[in-house]
Structure 1
Amino acid sequence: MTVVGGTDAGTTVREDGVPRVAGIGELELESGFRLPGVRIAYETWGTLAPDGSNAVLVEHALTGDTHVATGRARPGAPEAERRAAQSGGWWEGLVGPGAAIDTDRWFVVCTNILGGCYGSTGPATPAPPEVDPQGRPWGSRFPLVTVRDCVHAEAALADALGIDAWRLVIGGSMGGARALEWAVTYPDRVRACAVVAACAQSSAEQLAWGQAQKLAIRQDPHFRGGDYYDGPPPVTGLGLARRIAHITYRSADELHHRFGRSPQADEQVIDTHADGRGRYQVESYLDHQASKLAGRFDANSYLAVNETLMSHDVARGRGTLEEALSVTSCEWLVAAVDSDRLYLPHESDVLAAALPGDVRRHTLTSPSGHDGFLIETPQLGKLLVETVLREH
């Protein structure tokens, strides 16, 4: 394995939340496609125990990144690196010193999903010379990557980091799909698994939402079949995809109580023609979410990880769901958000019932809908400590 940026886990200087990139070589995908020169971006927090027994893998959601919590760069690191490490993470309060996933106790790893745009090999990264001698981005040539493929890539990274087994693999939403796949694909390498706001397979409704987002991007005139890197990016289509997705991430009650039918400040919603009116507050909110994502994410990567999520079916090729899950031997935390309308609590019930042993579904109480798995960190932390991270 080659590592670019930061230092290896075994060095004496501890660095937390510093981006690193590991080369894992060629990866044969589930489709049979051989993806050359694969690189996986990751960050770590804490110190790996000599026997590797304290490793925790945190899996991000659809458009997430590797920066799960505040960190610290090495003394003398460039200012930009220090600022990035010290910035807040997306699961702040759940991961960190003294938190439920205590980085003074656990060695935490968070990887960027294969196909993403935060350092791992994806559509926006230069294709290797054997694919494109000019080094142009993969673009439309990037292959379909499944959840199972992502787990195989992470297993190669774990090997290189000296991690034989994870004390815990945890993720919410798409991260939960990856965590579940880890427990089934590598049952001997997962001691505990936490699947939060996720399910055993993407449902028909989730596939339908995914298709709408995909078409929003593909129909942008700037998309150009996915080979747009020498021109303007399809930010309009990407923004529309984000609007579609974000509606499913929040609850109807929350949108009603936060925005109702109120117009945006100084904007008139009743006008002579509909296309000349101002915005309701909820429309302004969606515009803001779209603009934020379009400023930080690649449209092709959105398509790639969206397809990865649509591929999610832990029982594919493994018999019934019960048969597929029967190979697992880890401890489980299955948790749903009570107001989630994208990953329904009933789907978590189905997963829990199919797991070997007596596994119950836990509930995160939140008005926020699917995004409650990111917001309700005190509840989730308490569940983790009481179940899969309790002292033995």
Structure 2
Amino acid sequence: MTVNGAVPAHRHAPHRRFHRLDGPLLLTSGHLLGHVRVAYETYGELNTARDNAVFVCHALTGDAHVARHDDDDTAGWWDVMVGPGRPIDTDHLYVICANVLGGCAGTTAQPSGASLPPVAIADMVAVHRSLVAALGVPRLRAVVGGSVGGMQTLEWLLRHPSDAAGFFIAAATDRQSADNLAWNAVARAAIRSDPEFRGGHYAPDAGPRDGLGTARMIAHLTYLSETSLRRKFGRGPRRPGTRSHPSSLVQGDFAVEGYLEHQAEKFVRRFDANSYLRLMGAMDGFDAFREPDALAALDEVPPHVRLFSFTHDRLYGPAHSRRIQSELAVRGVVAHHEEDATSDAGHDAFLLDVPPFLAAVGAFFHELQARSRLPHTLTPR
């Protein structure tokens, strides 16, 4: 999305490439978008059979830079998962990751900013599918995602199950709970009540910094577990010399307050308020199994599906994954579900070095490799 706010962290990305959709994109809302350009990065090499491609869907405020390309590159948001010898092994797999429609890290569309119509998870997947086709990939080895990336993965599975041999959905949901909706409502209110929001029509390098920072603080409370907050911060005092937030946000005396303010400061430097509102709207509007035609295009050989959740995730905990598992079973897809209780990191555990989770993803790809040697009949795309 072309946005009003500047996002300096993404202006110079040497490995970022772009794909422009051949024609206009009809959104789920019925609006038509022209001149859609998607920013993406790739890792590894596409093999001669063109059957080793993996699409990684990023979470709410992520981008296409999923991992380092080399030792001199900046860190990626999923370096523990993607790379040579990692569970998603780029020595053998061709990995694609793209900034979502509605994001602010290179993917653009007209109209822009506050005038961009609502964007749905299905619209993000439509752009991803266009990119995969443009890259010459007839069928993906797998689609993988966590959190909002898991929503995209689930949407892809339900509407286009023959697009990939497997789907791995981590720490995700098929629809927001009332609790999830409430947290987002408060975050939106923080942004829109900031006088600098100006109805979404703010100048470049301006905008509701305080409101956006507060919204990020609210989100972080859902990403961490109470146990991890107590372990990391307790009631400890703020470290000296850390009262440096460039806004009027209250700078409290406790260490946990300093942590939240630091997260807010980092976020307002790299993200745009209109984009954040748009993406939260896509999350809240997602209801994967609402449409009766979910998995109507299922092949004779269903894709391999795995679900993973974390016990201490208070955003999309195990109950969310079990509901997805149950709904898929009704529709003829057996999805294996694993739950990790070893990490107390909360929702953010899917981004971290959690051995059971990394092992589960590695096992998933080994299983896909084994399945690829079995005879199967798949409906051509």
Give the TM-score of the pair, scaled to structure 1.
Answer: 0.83
Deviation track 1:94-146 (CA, whole Å, cap 9, x = no partner) reads: 11011111101000000101010100015xxxx4xxx6xxxxxx222111010
Residue 134 (structure 1) aligns with: none
How many residues are treated as equivalent by the alignment?
Answer: 343
CA distance in 2, matches of 1:302, 1:223: 12
Q: Does residue 260 of the first structure (1) align with residue 231 of the second (2)?
A: no
Output the CA distance in 1 between the equivalents of 2:36 and 2:252: 47
For structure 1, the residue ranges without an aligned partner over 5 or more in a row are 1-15, 73-81, 132-137, 268-274
1:372 corresponds in structure 2 to 349
Over 3 Å counting, the alpha-carbon distance change for 1:90 and 1:377 in structure 2 is farther
Mapping of residues 68-217 of structure 1, within 5 Å: 68-72=66-70, 86-121=73-108, 127=110, 138-217=112-191
CA deviations over 1:151-179 (Å, ceiling 9, x no partner): 01111111111112211100000000001
Q: What is the Cα deviation at residue 284 of structure 1?
A: 0.5
Residue in 1 that maps onto 2:15? 18
Distance in 2 separating the partners of 1:283 and 1:260: 11
CA 1:314–1:388: 2 relative to 1, 3 Å: farther
Q: Distance in 2 between matches of 1:17 and 1:95?
A: 18
Point out 4+ residue stretches in structure 1 off by more than 4 angstroms: 275-278, 323-326
Output the CA distance in 1 between the equivalents of 2:174 and 2:188.
Answer: 22
What is the Cα deviation at residue 17 of structure 1?
7.9
Corresponding position of 1:250: 224
Q: Look up the match of 1:3.
A: none
1:34 counterpart letter in structure 2: L
The question of 1:232 aligning with 2:206 is answered: yes
Report which stretch shifted further, 344-353 or 326-335. Answer: 326-335
* Counterpart pick for 1:360 among 331, 336, 339: 336
Query: CA–CA distance in 1 between the matches of 2:250 and 2:48?
Result: 65
1:336 Cα deviation from its structure 2 partner: 0.2
Task: Check conservation: 1:193, 1:388, Cα contact below 8 A.
Answer: no
Asked whether the equivalents of residues 17 and 45 of structure 1 are also in contact (C-alpha less than 8 Å), the reply is: no
1:140–1:226 Cα contact (<8 Å) kept? yes
1:288-307 aligned within 5 A = 288-307=262-281
2:318 is equivalent to residue 345 of structure 1: yes
Q: Take 1:164 and 1:310, find their aligned partners in 2: how far apart are those partners?
A: 32
Partner in structure 2 of residue 31 of structure 1: 29
Identity across the alignment (%): 40
The superposition leaves residues 5-34 of structure 1 with CA deviations (integer Å, 9 ceiling, x where unpaired) of xxxxxxxxxxx9810111113100011100
5+ residue gaps in structure 2? 1-12, 242-248, 371-381
Residues 327 and 233 of structure 1, relative CA distance in 2, 3 Å threshold = same
Whole-angstrom distance in 1 between the partners of 2:153 and 2:61: 16
> Do the aligned partners of 1:30 and 1:149 also contact (CA within 8 Å) in 2?
yes
Shift of residue 278 of structure 1?
A: 4.4
Structure 2 counterpart of 1:366, which letter? S
- In structure 1, what is the equivalent of residue 298 of structure 2? 327
Paired amino acid for 2:92: R
For residue 88 of structure 1, what is the amino acid of its counterpart?
Answer: A
What secondary structure is seen at the aligned counterpart in 1 of 2:77? coil
Q: Residues of 2 paired with 1:90 and 1:231: CA distance?
A: 24
User: Which whole-Å deviations, capped at 9, do the CAs of 1:204-237 have from their partners, x for residues lacking one?
Assistant: 2211111111111111101111110257221111
Q: Are 1:331 and 1:388, in contact at CA under 8 Å, matched by a contact in 2?
A: no
Q: 1:276 to 1:118 in 2, by over 3 A?
A: closer
Kept in 1: contact 2:100–2:107 (CA 8 A):
yes
Counterpart residue identity of residue 351, structure 1: I
Change (3 A) 1:231 1:92: closer
Matches within 5 A, 1:271-290: 278-290=252-264
| 1:277 CA drift (Å) | 8.3
CA RMSD in angstroms, aligned pairs only: 2.2
SS in 2 for 1:223: helix
Asked whether the 8 Å contact 2:171–2:309 carries over to 1, the reply is: yes
Aligned mates of 1:188, 1:266 — CA distance in 2: 56
TM-score by structure 2 length? 0.85
Greater CA drift, 353-362 or 242-251? 353-362
SS at match of 1:387: helix
State the AA in 1 paired with 2:350. Answer: F
Report 1 or 2 for greater relative contact order, CA contacts < 8 Å, sequence distance ≥ 6: 2
- Following the alignment from structure 1 to structure 2, what is the Cα–Cα distance between the partners of residues 351 and 326? 18
Counterpart of 1:381 (choices 353, 358, 362) is 358
CA 1:277–1:386 in structure 2 vs 1: closer, same or farther (change >3 Å)?
Answer: closer
Checking the alignment, whether the CA contact within 8 Å between 2:251 and 2:258 is kept in structure 1 is: no
